Amino acid sequence: MQPVDYTTLMASCVELKRDWIPSRLEQVYQRDRFTISLALRTLKAKPWLTISWHPEAARINLGDPPPRVKDTFTFSDQLRHQLNGLALIEIEAIAPWERVLDLQFAQRPGEPALWHLYVEIMGKYSNVILTDAERQIITPARQISSAQSSVRPIQTGQRYEVPPALTGTTPKLEESFERWQERVSLIPGQLKRQLLKSYRGLSPKVAEEIAIAAGLSPQQNTATLQPEDWQELFSYWQKWLIVLEQEQFDPGWRTDGYTVLGWDKIESVDSVQTLLNRYYTDEVNLQQFKQLYHQLNQKLTNLLKKLNLKANTFRQRLQQSADAESYRQQGDLLMAHPHQWQPGMKSIILNDFETDEPIKIKLTPEKNAVQNAQVLYKNSQKLKRAKGAVVPLLAEVDAEINYLSQVQTSLNQLQSGKLNGTEDLQALAEIREELIQQGYLTSERQVDKQKDESQPYRYTAPSGCELWVGRNNRQNDILSFRTAVEYDLWFHTQEIPGSHVLLRLEPGAVPSEPDLQFTADITAYYSQARDSEQVPVVYTKPKHVYKPKGAKPGMAIYKHETVIWGRPQVAKEYVVNSNVAHNKSS
């Protein structure tokens, strides 16, 4: 993840000062343990200012409104108590080349600041600290004890001290070419590394941009640079400093992230705020998606492994119970021929009543024929009783396996979290909530709540009608039993875990063969059989789809179905391209 460096921080600060100072603070909301949102009010608009001290995504920029769920964090409560209703009168850096902004609050514009909110954008050391006018700390987002840091502890009641100054030479526009080149080339080495070692305030990303804009490789050795290379490199070095001095930033996307300098961008963005909000929202969502996906997938895999082991044990016991009839027949034979028994016999061979084939019967030498027959009858009854007990247990385990397989299929059908971002993260959080409700997970580690429920995948059939695909069991139930109307058609893979799919039709419309085949292909793709060439898919009217009493989420039975063969590989390219197009448009 690309960190916010000094250049990016100044670009964001310039826009915020230009457009939103002064403004009135109307609300404080803490989204999670790393992020707060401040509702600012001006004569023109009411934006939400996002401030994050996330160790990898620390930033300050205008962002999306927070979700409508209760804020229970102490830090935001303290900020509300002190700052609500005050005017944000200034945003400024505390010192040149320092990644710390001072947000100043007063009763009204033109009056002295009553409170300072220091936003420290410093990677894993990032923090947000509220102080009074005398810089006494009222509350920090992160308390830092003297045991954690002897250099700069941060505790309530202490005086706020600025972070220790970084070592290194400060970049200056007035510096001559000869002095600059001497400093960078003093010790031959990788160009990017030498720039970073020679000056403070320069990030690895900006060093790369300067080198690439000059037509050089960031990994190139300084000893190999020609005089014209040094001149071109120095030219872009000064362009960077001019951008900072004149505050003329040019935000846009690069192939590997974003830029506020605009030299090698592949797509322009209207503002730094839009750029940062989109990039870090997507990246944090992707990070959360990967963590939660791994947690859920590991849990489901372990559960299914244990259940399959239990099911195999039950099946072995059922196979053993098949010997119950054999034991009874042997007992009958022994009772019919007691005269053939001799004391001390360990086995006896008697002919079967029906086939007349010889059957060898094991005996206990200490018991007579009748007693041995009684042992055989007893074993037969024992196995019959075991069968009666095992059959319902096996059915229960098989039902649980089917349910968890369906959940895991829904999990695996979600995209990487990159293409569908927030939607996939919401669907994933809903899967976790379902597993908590079903007792498979505890609710100790909560996922950040999303502001909306996730929505099904939507595709367009050849005739133009819509196709809705459930992302998880919650959506499957909603589609099948709440959304579907009598004109629709309901699709599902036959006896294979997968999504519930609706082909949405207008009243009186008859689906074409291409529509049916397209829907079957999509249904097969969003199933456990995604990697197959052909998959049996059933479709029927929604009124013929039922949820058994007491069934788990996503479980359904159906009747009056028609079978059609779905082709998941045909659907794959369409689905991927459709998701990419949707991501670009959003």
pLDDT digits (tens, 9 = 90+) for 231-257: 999 999 999 999 999 999 999 999 889
Q: SS3 sequence, 12-49?
A: HHHHHHHHHCCEEEEEEEEEECCEEEEEEECCCCCCEE
Q: Are 7 and 206 in contact (CB under 8 A)?
A: yes
Q: Cα(170)–Cα(201) distance, rounded to whole angstroms?
A: 7
Report the alpha-carbon angle 250-280-71, nearest 5: 130
- CATH code for the domain defined by 6-140: 2.30.310.10
CA distance 456 to 462: 19
Is residue 96 within 8 Å of residue 108, measured between CB atoms?
no
Residue 581: band (very low, low, confident or very high) from pLDDT cuts 50, 70, 90: very low
Say yes or no to pLDDT of 348 above 90: no
Among the listed residues 138, 139, 121, 113, the one whose alpha carbon sits nearest the alpha carbon of residue 60: 121
Residue 327 pLDDT exceeds 80: no
User: Residue 539: pLDDT band by 50, 70, 90 thresholds?
Assistant: very high
The 8-class DSSP code of residue 129 comes to E
What is the rounded CA–CA span in Å between residue 42 and residue 94? 25
DSSP per-residue letters across 327-391: HHHHHHHHHH-GGG--TT-SEEEEE-TTT--EEEEE--TTS-HHHHHHHHHHHHHHHHHHHHHHH
Q: When comparing pLDDT for 30 and 417, which is higher?
A: 30
Are the C-beta atoms of residues 16 and 96 closer than 8 Å to each other?
Answer: no
Residues 6+ apart with CB under 8 A from 376: 327, 328, 330, 331, 334, 361
Under the phi-then-psi rule, with left for phi > 0, alpha for psi from -120 to 50, and beta for the rest, what region is 262? left
Backbone angles phi, psi at 452, to 5 degrees: -130, 160
The answer to whether 519 and 539 have CB atoms below 8 angstroms apart is yes
3-class secondary-structure state, position 547 = coil
pLDDT at 421: 60
pLDDT tens, position by position, 3-55? 999 999 999 999 999 999 999 999 999 999 999 999 999 988 999 999 999 99
Largest CA distance in the chain: 121
| Beta pairing partners, 268 | 252
Q: Would you call the peptide bond into 568 cis, given omega within 30 degrees of 0 as the criterion?
A: no
The per-residue pLDDT for range 96-144, each reduced to its tens digit, is: 899 999 999 999 999 999 999 999 999 999 999 999 999 999 999 999 9
Alpha-carbon gap, residue 55 to 447, rounded angstroms: 18
pLDDT at 450 over 50: no
Compute the mean pLDDT over every residue in the chain, rounded to the nearest whole number.
Answer: 89
Q: b or e along 124-142 (b: 16 or more beta carbons within 10 Å of the residue's beta carbon)?
A: ebbbbbbbeeeeebbbbbb
Q: What does the pLDDT average to over 55-75?
A: 91
Which CATH number, 1.20.1420, 1.10.8, 1.10.10, 1.20.120, labels domain 177-270? 1.10.8
Number of H helices, E strands in the chain: 13, 22
Reply yes or no on whether the pLDDT at 586 is more than 50: no
Burial category of 527 from C-beta neighbours within 10 Å (exposed 0-12, middle 13-18, buried 19 and up): buried
Q: State the SS3 of 420-440.
A: CHHHHHHHHHHHHHHHHHCCC
pLDDT band for position 221 (cuts 50, 70, 90): very high
Residue spans per domain, the chain: 6-140, 177-270, 457-585
Nearest 5°: phi and psi at 255?
Answer: -65, -25
Q: Are 302 and 34 in contact (CB under 8 A)?
A: no
d(CA 143, CA 128) in angstroms, rounded, equals 10
Integer Cα distance of 489 and 485 in angstroms = 9
Q: Roughly how many angstroms between the first and final C-alpha of the chain, as a whole number?
A: 21
Q: List strands edge to edge, sheet with 23-32.
A: 59-63, 48-52, 35-41, 23-32, 87-93, 100-106, 115-120, 127-132, 137-140
> Among candidates 176, 202, 178, 177, which has minimal Cα distance to 191?
202
Q: Which is more confident, 151 or 221?
A: 221
Q: What is the dihedral of CA 391, 392, 398, 404, to 10 degrees?
A: -160
Amino acid letter, 52:
S
Q: How many other C-beta atoms can be found within 10 angstroms of the C-beta atom of residue 263?
A: 17
